[in-house]
Structure 1
Amino acid sequence: MEKRILLLEDDTALGETLVELLEERGYRVDWARDGAEAADFSFDTLYDLYLLDINVPEIDGLELLEGLREADDTTPVIFISALVDLNTIARGFGLGAEDYIKKPFSPEELLIRVEARLTRSTGRIRFGTLEYDPLRRVLKKEGALVSLGEVQLCLLDLFLKNPGQVIDKEVLMECLEHPSSAALRVAISKLKEKTGLEFTNLRGVGYAVQKC
């Protein structure tokens, strides 16, 4: 599955160059020209990496990152900026940035840093066309957000963390507000309908999600 990157850059020429460079490497890139637009993108889409300029209109890159972290968004961040004062850099790392690239930079340097960051584990679970972030409790199917209720999220978490394994129905029913075998069957049926997952029912024991 292709990796998705959100680029925040208000310089049109540089933005166009970076989008072309990253897309040539197979990344899917959304380009925001100001911090408010970047915030909207981050609300609607689950990204693998943020590339953020700092000195941009509306909401600067540091304020954006602060808001993302307060919202429990743990997506890795690389700052790309001409700002070099130590206080700014220190604040960026203090807010949770993983890297900092000073403008101007070579395309090769950017790609090396991006690829190094994206090869590290993000804790996300990929299962067929699904991508699940257990920290944010967010599910995407073919890149689109899937809305699930608390019961469905609880069941999904158990199944995707234990693919192919039969989970005892008593454990699964702990996700239900009013536990019963019938209620569990209905909940799993709804989860299947929304996600496309296939389940195996070992009668009297429990359920397992079928491996892709």
Structure 2
Amino acid sequence: MKYNRSCICTHDSQNKRQQILDAAYIVFSRKGYHRATVDEIIALADTGKGTVYNYFTNKEQLFYTLIKERSTPFEGILENIVTSSEEPLQKVQTIVKAFLEFYQVNAELWRVVMYEVRGIGVEGYSNFTLEQRDKYQAWFCRSIGMIEKVLIEGKEQGAIVEKCDANRVAHSLFSVIVTSVFRNFVSEDIGETAYNITEFLLYGVAKK
């Protein structure tokens, strides 16, 4: 049997690249962006320095690639929810559940991203330039914007009151989601947690 050498090489290359990204996920999640080193990632990935720099220019580019490749499928999920035929209020609950599921898996890494974007890194300051922080902030704006789109749809269909500030409510929902994950308030039944968050944000808790 003959093997296509180019296919084998491509497969090996993809595996090695993914191995580096997997190692980067562990190191960045544990140590934060500032204290993590490329040497630690190299050691964990069991590869050479030249191999890492063959795929990634520097530590920041490796970090950004890791964030991008983890977030892109999630953004696709959000898009599908926004464009689905669900009723707007059900979409809110579905999108909250999607956020909870994503952050449950990526909590430690995204905690690092948030620290850097907000300018309060592990050492008390952001290690990113303003331009770099804006680049990561754009991801949060896009994802929160998906929640806002659903809320606007709800307003247009009369399911949500006209005076609702969709942008502020979207940010409020996002804050509750992130806090719930980071504080371990998410129950084993993520759907139940999504329902409770949606009920609380949309209807409140006070008896009238």
TM-score, normalising length: structure 2: 0.26
- Structure number with greater CO (CA < 8 Å, separation at least 6) is 2
Higher helix share: 2
More strand by share: 1
- TM-score normalized with structure 1 length: 0.25
